[in-house]
Amino acid sequence: MITVTARQREEASQDVPFALTVLGRDALDTQRVDDSFGLVRQVPGMSLTSFDDGRFAYFQLRGIGPLSQAIGPDDGSVVTYVDGVPQPVFASEFAYLDLERIEVLRGPQGTLFGRNSQGGAINVTTRAPSDEFFGKVRLEGGEQGFGLAEALVSGPIAGERVLGRLSLRGSTVDGFVDNIAPTGGDLGDQTVYSARGVVDLLPETDNGFRFSISANIDHRVSNPFYYVSRAEPSPVVEIDPENEVERTAWGTSVTIRKPLGFGEFTSITAFNGFRNEQITDDTDGLIYGPLFGLSPSDFLAPLSFSDWHEEETRFFQELRLSSAPERDVAWASGIVYFNSDLDVELDNRSTFSPVLNGDRDATQEIDSYAVYGEATVPLGSPRLKGTAGVRYTRDEKTLAATFAGVGFPGSVEFFEEYNEADFDLVTGRLALAYAATDSANIYATVGRGAKSGGFPRLTLNAAFGVESPNYAESTSWTYEAGVKSTLLDGRARLDVSGFYNDVEDEQLFVLDFVAFQFVPVNLDTRSFGIEAQGDIVFDQSWSLSGGLAWTDSEIREGDEFSGATAGNRIPNVPELSTTLNLDYRGSRVAVGGADLSPFVTLTHQYVGERAADVANSFDLEAYHNVDFRIGATLGSTEIFTFARNLLDDEQEINGVLYGPGVEGASIGRGRIVGIGLTSTF
């Protein structure tokens, strides 16, 4: 049985009336799910838009998600939660360090997970401190300068009542995109340092009370390339100055769990946020040269650049009551307060655009209040259960911003803006689940999703003395039915589901090339599809797991600014995506007084062809990704060799049309082969 907390209480995943993908401790370790890219490799139907800088990364599930880059600090449809704490949209790419479980919850999760989880939620649970001493070391090295070192220690700090756990990781990898500018090198290199610590305090009275204090940090320095020209035979750029990003994400939380006679009380108090320092060349000569009919060298330094300083500080408080496990009537209810303070400073210089000149300073504050409740009750029979839940959310947002011109023709000298907007959102879920047998559950669910509206994080049109227009909230209805079954005396599991999403006012941010102003656009979309996932244990050595997602997605209305046309596909949503994992664990053989056991882990991901943008200007090519790890366990030590992207397939992650015939794409890294070891003590 797989136990999850997808509904804010422990229960079997088979009893949850919606589709979810669960990666437990063993799968996370053997399949090396170390970050968001590793996660997407294991979740069919999930898309990731990332520029590998730790700042711009967001997920789509079942065709629901931002239709372009994230507009503001709330523009995410699949929210990541770590131990119950929502993570910043602009820092949702971080090291997956020392995790117990990841649950990818499909469909709207606004009832229990709240703000903006219109397409789904990623529920991450970290590993708790152990009551006995435990330690682990992991070392890996390979091609492209790849190196990783990880260490953790866990156990009692002061007797049985104070337990602690500390995890550390450092990793580095070289660039793989050639910058052919005179001062250039390779772009795409990245160095990441991350740490997580937790202390659990348990009172002398053994009643299950737990007081947990945790802290985490993720610091990364990178030289991203963002987009490369698809017209070039190999991935190259021509930029000066070289892109540089330094981003630090951090968080601390206090969680209190107190068993009660009728259930459990939970309090989560958290501060988290990020700081980003970034300088980028906005005009790659290999893209802007063909765009303007000029030589690529005409766009070398010091013509165009952006200098960013961003910082967000967030506070989160949730008070929750939930039913005790194994009760006939299961329920959860709570209240939530959330605050975000985002400060952005951007200095732009450009030779051709008023919009890309000037100094901007913007502060955006969000206050959010919510109350929710959900209950599951038997309906005349213990085999038939109904679920009903609702959440009300009030978002209050303010934007205060200034713009100072630098004398570029067509731009104003100074502009100041203050704006306010409030949003009232209602989300909820109704579901029926029927246990047809002891090993098969059938369910049907209707979910109401919503994503708050707001402001862009910057006054992008301020160069013309124009306020930043608001973008509207997005709402949706999702209909899902499926069956979850256990087969072959518990050795196999198969889940199959079908869904239909009807989304009103999905959010998009586009550049009007005529007026050269940024315009928010809301477009209606719809998507439907079939998903299947499962696993089977053949014997004590061999097991197989995987899944597939077939999705038909469509934009339902046109727009003159973005080029969207009714009937176009939703960008970055493949019609077909699959995952497959083959795992072998050999029998133990005594060697020199220690047990030796061989192992093999082979994973495959297929991502089909996708539209690059809402205008369907061009398609991103389908790709395969194959990873493997082969080695042996000798006593408490694993020694192995590994490969990532074994086929060295060029993988287009997302794309953009700069102008007629000028296409850009963000690409994934090529093959890395290496060796490694892990040792426990």
pLDDT of residue 199: 97
Contact 556, 526 (CB under 8 A): yes
Distance CA 528, CA 63 (A): 8
Half-sphere exposure of 571 (CA within 13 A, CB side): 29
Integer angstrom CA distances of residue 411 from 127, 288, 415, 664: 53, 22, 10, 28
pLDDT of residue 206: 65
**pLDDT tens, residue by residue, 620-650:** 999 999 999 999 999 899 999 999 999 999 9
**pLDDT tens, residue by residue, 272-285:** 999 999 999 988 99
Distance CA 102, CA 13 (A): 12
**pLDDT tens, residue by residue, 489-517:** 989 999 999 999 999 998 887 766 555 56
Q: Which of 245, 314, 309 has its CA nearest to residue 82?
A: 314
Greater confidence (356 vs 676) lies with 676
Rounded to 5 degrees, what angle do the CA atoms 326, 330, 334 make? 130
Q: Which residues pair with 260 in a beta bridge?
A: none
User: Per-residue pLDDT for 45 more than 80?
Assistant: yes
pLDDT of residue 445: 98
User: Per-residue pLDDT for 263 more than 60?
Assistant: yes
The rounded percent of the chain whose pLDDT value lies above 90 is 75
Stretch 125-151: mean pLDDT, rounded?
97
Pair of tokens at residue 331: 């329920």
Integer angstrom CA distances of residue 17 from 3, 234, 435, 478, 534: 14, 47, 11, 13, 16
Q: Which of 527, 515, 522 has its CA nearest to residue 480?
A: 527
Stretch 335-351: mean pLDDT, rounded?
94
pLDDT of residue 516: 56
Distance CA 472, CA 477 (A): 17
Question: Which of 52-66, 422-436, 534-548 has the lowest average pLDDT?
Answer: 52-66
From the centroid of its chain, how far is CA 141? 26
pLDDT of residue 300: 79
Stretch 82-94: mean pLDDT, rounded?
91
User: Per-residue pLDDT for 76 more than 60?
Assistant: yes
From the centroid of its chain, how far is CA 212? 25
Stretch 185-198: mean pLDDT, rounded?
96
Backbone φ/ψ region at 123: left (φ over 0), alpha (ψ -120 to 50), beta:
beta
Residue 540: strand, helix, or coil: coil
Q: Which run of H or E residues covers position 498? A: strand 492-512
Q: Which run of H or E residues covers position 278? A: strand 263-280
User: Per-residue pLDDT for 423 more than 90?
Assistant: yes
Give percent helix, percent strand, percent coil of the chain, each to the nearest 5. Answer: 5, 60, 35
Residue-averaged pLDDT of the chain = 92
Question: Which of 54-68, 327-341, 574-588, 655-669 has the lowest average pLDDT?
Answer: 54-68
**pLDDT tens, residue by residue, 433-464:** 999 999 999 999 999 999 999 888 777 788 88
pLDDT of residue 512: 63
pLDDT of residue 208: 79
From the centroid of its chain, how far is CA 649? 23
pLDDT of residue 270: 98
Stretch 80-109: mean pLDDT, rounded?
94
> pLDDT band for position 302 (50/70/90)?
low
The residues, any chain, with a CB within 8 Å of residue 183's CB and separated by 6 or more, are: 240, 241, 242, 301
Q: Which residues pair with 657 in a beta bridge?
A: 663
Greater confidence (185 vs 482) lies with 482
Distance CA 349, CA 547 (A): 47
Q: Give the DSSP per-residue string, 35-73.
A: SHHHHHTT-TTEEEEE-SSSSSEEEEETTBS-SSS--ST
Bond before 302 cis per omega within 30 degrees: yes
Integer angstrom CA distances of residue 460 from 188, 273, 342, 490: 27, 23, 16, 57
pLDDT of residue 126: 97
Q: Which residues pair with 524 in a beta bridge?
A: none
Distance CA 529, CA 15 (A): 22
The residues, any chain, with a CB within 8 Å of residue 355's CB and separated by 6 or more, are: 460, 461, 463, 464, 516, 517, 518
Stretch 115-137: mean pLDDT, rounded?
94
Q: Which of 402, 455, 392, 397 has its CA nearest to residue 426?
A: 392
Distance CA 332, CA 336 (A): 13
Stretch 349-370: mean pLDDT, rounded?
90
pLDDT of residue 237: 95
Strands 177-179 and 236-237, bridge-based pairing: parallel
Contact 326, 10 (CB under 8 A): no
Stretch 222-247: mean pLDDT, rounded?
93
Q: Which of 15, 25, 16, 10 has its CA nearest to residue 109?
A: 16
Question: Is 9 exposed, middle or buried, given 0-12, 13-18 or 19+ CB atoms closer than 10 A?
Answer: buried
Place of tokens 């369907």: 616
From the centroid of its chain, how far is CA 311? 19
Distance CA 512, CA 469 (A): 14
> pLDDT band for position 64 (50/70/90)?
very high
Place of tokens 């699959």: 578
pLDDT of residue 342: 96
Pair of tokens at residue 26: 């063993």
Which ranges of 451-521 does DSSP label H, i.e. alpha helix? none
Stretch 569-594: mean pLDDT, rounded?
91
Task: For the chain, give every domain's residue range.
Answer: 3-680
DSSP state of 171: E
pLDDT of residue 567: 95
Stretch 473-478: mean pLDDT, rounded?
95
**pLDDT tens, residue by residue, 386-422:** 999 999 999 999 999 999 999 999 899 999 999 999 9
pTM over 0.75: yes
Q: How many residues does this entry show for the chain?
A: 681
Domain 3-680 fold is: Maltoporin; Chain A (2.40.170)
Greater confidence (574 vs 590) lies with 574
User: Per-residue pLDDT for 655 more than 70?
Assistant: yes
Backbone angles phi, psi at 351, to 5 degrees: -90, -10
- 3-state DSSP of 595-623: EEEEEEEEEEEEECCEECCCCCCCEECCE
